[in-house]
Amino acid sequence: MNLRPFHLAFPVHDLTEARIFYGEIMGCAEGRSSDHWIDFDFYGHQIVAHLDASARAVSTHNAVDGHDVPVPHFGVVLTMPQWEELAARVKGAGIHFGIEPHIRFKGEVGEQATMFFYDPSGNALEFKAFADDAQLFAA
């Protein structure tokens, strides 16, 4: 299967904060932009931060492996070295983790490294990595 990049548009309260968070902290290259939106290269995928000063992040939480996982959330499955580098970069930037970097389902099917944190507008992000990518959809 040849994966194609996904596209995700989401609301942010402030484009300057989004530009700093996604561009400088997350390391996403900026693409096209206007006074109302910014395209970012999100690990080869296109995400678009759209200005909506009145939007408020809405989330609930579901229990997963002893943690309250925020829903909705988005992110990318990274390689383990990419995941480790991002965890260090986010920690170094002083970003608060909603769920600290850790190994989920340790010793079980689907074992994965995962972490959750929020952008300045309250959008929840999850990044994960597998020692064995075959575990991504393992049942």
Place of tokens 């991002």: 86
* pTM higher than 0.85: yes
36 within domain boundaries: yes
Residues 34 and 84 in one domain: no
Cα of first residue to Cα of last residue in the chain, in angstroms, is 20
Element at 62 (helix H, strand E): strand 60-64
Position 6 scores a pLDDT of 96
Residues 67 and 126 in one domain: yes
Residues 34 and 71 in one domain: no
Residues 46 and 74 in one domain: no
57 within domain boundaries: no
* SS3 assignment, position 64: strand
Distance CA 18, CA 49 (A): 7
CATH number at residue 106: 3.10.180.10
Position 1 scores a pLDDT of 62
- Per-residue pLDDT in tens (0 to 9) along the chain, 139 residues: 688 999 999 999 999 999 999 999 999 999 999 999 999 999 999 999 999 988 887 778 888 878 888 899 999 999 999 999 999 999 999 999 999 999 999 888 889 999 999 999 999 999 999 988 888 888 8
Residues 16 and 70 in one domain: no
Residue range(s) defining the domain that contains residue 15: 7-51
Name the nearest CA neighbour of 73 among 130, 132, 19, 8. Answer: 8
In the structure encoding, which two tokens stand for residue 130, read together?
């597998």
